[in-house]
Protein backbone atom coordinates (compact mmCIF):
# COMPACT_ATOMS: atom_id res chain seq x y z
CA UNK A 1 0.00 0.00 0.00
CA UNK A 2 2.86 2.36 0.88
CA UNK A 3 4.39 1.80 -2.59
CA UNK A 4 1.07 2.51 -4.31
CA UNK A 5 0.74 5.84 -2.42
CA UNK A 6 4.29 6.84 -3.34
CA UNK A 7 3.66 5.99 -7.00
CA UNK A 8 0.40 8.02 -7.03
CA UNK A 9 2.09 11.01 -5.35
CA UNK A 10 4.98 10.86 -7.83
CA UNK A 11 2.55 10.65 -10.73
CA UNK A 12 0.60 13.70 -9.46
CA UNK A 13 3.81 15.70 -8.98
CA UNK A 14 5.12 14.80 -12.43
CA UNK A 15 1.77 15.58 -14.07
CA UNK A 16 1.52 18.90 -12.25
CA UNK A 17 5.10 19.88 -13.13
CA UNK A 18 4.58 18.91 -16.79
CA UNK A 19 1.43 21.06 -16.95
CA UNK A 20 3.30 24.08 -15.55
CA UNK A 21 6.18 23.66 -17.99
CA UNK A 22 3.72 23.25 -20.87
CA UNK A 23 1.88 26.45 -19.85
CA UNK A 24 5.13 28.39 -19.81
CA UNK A 25 6.04 27.14 -23.27
CA UNK A 26 2.73 28.48 -24.63
CA UNK A 27 3.35 32.09 -23.51
CA UNK A 28 3.48 34.56 -26.42
CA UNK A 29 6.88 35.23 -27.95
CA UNK A 30 8.59 38.53 -27.07
CA UNK A 31 7.96 40.07 -30.51
CA UNK A 32 4.17 39.75 -30.25
CA UNK A 33 3.86 41.62 -26.97
CA UNK A 34 2.43 45.14 -27.54
CA UNK A 35 4.91 47.04 -25.34
CA UNK A 36 8.30 45.90 -24.25
CA UNK A 37 10.58 48.14 -22.18
CA UNK A 38 13.87 48.31 -24.04
CA UNK A 39 15.51 51.31 -22.44
CA UNK A 40 14.94 54.11 -19.93
CA UNK A 41 16.15 57.68 -20.39
CA UNK A 42 16.90 59.30 -17.02
CA UNK A 43 15.26 62.67 -16.35
CA UNK A 44 17.11 63.70 -13.23
CA UNK A 45 15.28 66.25 -11.10
CA UNK A 46 11.93 65.74 -12.86
CA UNK A 47 9.19 64.92 -10.37
CA UNK A 48 5.55 63.96 -10.70
CA UNK A 49 3.78 62.31 -13.56
CA UNK A 50 3.84 62.81 -17.31
CA UNK A 51 0.80 63.71 -19.36
CA UNK A 52 0.88 64.10 -23.15
CA UNK A 53 3.78 63.66 -25.53
CA UNK A 54 4.62 65.42 -28.79
CA UNK A 55 7.08 64.46 -31.53
CA UNK A 56 8.76 66.57 -34.20
CA UNK A 57 8.93 63.65 -36.67
CA UNK A 58 12.70 63.95 -36.73
CA UNK A 59 14.49 63.31 -33.50
CA UNK A 60 12.87 65.16 -30.60
CA UNK A 61 10.24 63.97 -28.16
CA UNK A 62 8.40 66.61 -26.11
CA UNK A 63 7.15 65.37 -22.74
CA UNK A 64 4.64 67.29 -20.61
CA UNK A 65 6.03 66.81 -17.09
CA UNK A 66 2.81 67.71 -15.31
CA UNK A 67 4.10 67.52 -11.73
CA UNK A 68 7.31 69.34 -12.60
CA UNK A 69 5.70 72.34 -14.39
CA UNK A 70 7.95 71.77 -17.39
CA UNK A 71 8.13 70.33 -20.89
CA UNK A 72 11.13 68.06 -21.26
CA UNK A 73 12.83 67.85 -24.66
CA UNK A 74 14.44 64.50 -25.36
CA UNK A 75 16.81 63.73 -28.23
CA UNK A 76 15.68 60.27 -29.27
CA UNK A 77 18.90 59.49 -31.19
CA UNK A 78 21.24 60.47 -28.36
CA UNK A 79 18.87 59.08 -25.72
CA UNK A 80 19.28 62.16 -23.54
CA UNK A 81 17.33 65.16 -22.31
CA UNK A 82 18.58 68.18 -24.23
CA UNK A 83 16.40 70.92 -22.76
CA UNK A 84 13.81 71.65 -20.12
CA UNK A 85 11.19 74.34 -20.76
CA UNK A 86 10.18 75.54 -17.30
CA UNK A 87 7.49 77.79 -15.92
CA UNK A 88 4.47 76.12 -17.51
CA UNK A 89 1.92 75.49 -14.74
CA UNK A 90 0.64 71.92 -15.04
CA UNK A 91 1.50 71.34 -18.72
CA UNK A 92 -0.83 68.81 -20.23
CA UNK A 93 -1.22 69.00 -24.01
CA UNK A 94 1.96 69.21 -26.10
CA UNK A 95 1.81 69.50 -29.89
CA UNK A 96 4.51 70.19 -32.47
CA UNK A 97 3.39 71.93 -35.70
CA UNK A 98 5.98 71.23 -38.43
CA UNK A 99 4.40 73.70 -40.85
CA UNK A 100 5.23 76.64 -38.60
CA UNK A 101 7.97 74.97 -36.55
CA UNK A 102 6.12 75.85 -33.36
CA UNK A 103 5.63 73.91 -30.17
CA UNK A 104 2.30 74.36 -28.37
CA UNK A 105 2.11 73.57 -24.64
CA UNK A 106 -1.30 73.71 -22.99
CA UNK A 107 -1.62 74.44 -19.29
CA UNK A 108 -4.47 73.41 -17.02
CA UNK A 109 -4.35 77.00 -15.75
CA UNK A 110 -5.85 78.32 -19.01
CA UNK A 111 -2.70 79.38 -20.87
CA UNK A 112 -1.48 78.15 -24.23
CA UNK A 113 2.27 78.66 -24.57
CA UNK A 114 3.75 78.85 -28.07
CA UNK A 115 7.48 78.25 -28.57
CA UNK A 116 9.82 78.50 -31.52
CA UNK A 117 10.76 74.83 -31.93
CA UNK A 118 14.28 75.62 -33.18
CA UNK A 119 15.29 77.85 -30.26
CA UNK A 120 12.68 76.71 -27.71
CA UNK A 121 12.10 80.35 -26.84
CA UNK A 122 8.63 81.58 -25.91
CA UNK A 123 6.92 83.32 -28.82
CA UNK A 124 3.55 84.00 -27.25
CA UNK A 125 1.31 83.00 -24.36
CA UNK A 126 -2.44 83.18 -24.87
CA UNK A 127 -4.86 83.20 -21.95
CA UNK A 128 -7.97 81.18 -22.74
CA UNK A 129 -9.45 81.73 -19.25
CA UNK A 130 -10.10 78.01 -18.84
CA UNK A 131 -8.54 74.59 -18.86
CA UNK A 132 -6.79 74.08 -22.20
CA UNK A 133 -5.92 70.49 -21.33
CA UNK A 134 -7.85 69.30 -24.34
CA UNK A 135 -5.89 71.38 -26.83
CA UNK A 136 -5.59 69.51 -30.08
CA UNK A 137 -4.10 70.04 -33.48
CA UNK A 138 -6.40 68.88 -36.22
CA UNK A 139 -4.75 66.60 -38.79
CA UNK A 140 -3.58 66.71 -41.45
CA UNK A 141 -1.07 69.41 -40.70
CA UNK A 142 -1.52 72.01 -43.43
CA UNK A 143 -2.37 75.66 -43.94
CA UNK A 144 -5.79 74.99 -42.46
CA UNK A 145 -4.43 73.39 -39.29
CA UNK A 146 -5.86 74.87 -36.15
CA UNK A 147 -5.38 74.52 -32.44
CA UNK A 148 -8.60 74.23 -30.50
CA UNK A 149 -8.82 75.01 -26.83
CA UNK A 150 -11.83 73.54 -25.08
CA UNK A 151 -13.15 73.38 -21.59
CA UNK A 152 -15.27 70.52 -20.38
CA UNK A 153 -18.29 72.54 -21.53
CA UNK A 154 -17.60 74.01 -24.96
CA UNK A 155 -14.93 75.24 -27.39
CA UNK A 156 -13.35 78.50 -26.31
CA UNK A 157 -11.47 79.61 -29.36
CA UNK A 158 -9.66 78.53 -32.50
CA UNK A 159 -6.21 79.64 -33.43
CA UNK A 160 -4.55 78.98 -36.76
CA UNK A 161 -0.76 78.56 -36.86
CA UNK A 162 -0.47 81.73 -38.94
CA UNK A 163 -1.85 83.72 -35.98
CA UNK A 164 1.08 82.55 -33.87
Task: Please tell me which of 15-19, 96-100, 160-164 the model is most confident about, judged by mean pLDDT.
Answer: 96-100
**In the chain, how many domains are there?**
2
If asked whether residues 27 and 55 sit together in one domain, one would say no
Claim to verify: residue 111 and residue 146 sit in the same structural domain: yes
**Least-confidence region, from 10-14, 43-47, 112-116, 133-137:** 133-137
Residues 13 and 84 in one domain: no
Domain that holds residue 67: 50-163
Whether pTM exceeds 0.75:
no
Same domain, 16 and 94: no
Whether residue 57 sits in one domain with residue 28: no
**Which H or E element spans position 14?**
helix 2-25
| Contact partners, residue 66, CB within 8 Å, separation at least 6 | 48, 49, 50, 51, 90, 91, 92
Is the predicted pLDDT of residue 42 greater than 60, yes or no?
yes
Residue 50 has pLDDT above 60, yes or no: yes
pLDDT over 90 for what percent of the chain?
A: 27
Q: CA 64 to CA 62: how far, in whole Å?
A: 7
Q: Is residue 67 over pLDDT 80?
A: yes
Domain check: are 62 and 131 in the same one? yes
Amino acid sequence: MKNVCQIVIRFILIAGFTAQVSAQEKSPPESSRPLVLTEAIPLLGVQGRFDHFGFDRKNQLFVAALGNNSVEVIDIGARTRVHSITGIPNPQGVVYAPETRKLFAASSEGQLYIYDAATLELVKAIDFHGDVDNSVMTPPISASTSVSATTKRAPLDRLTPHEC
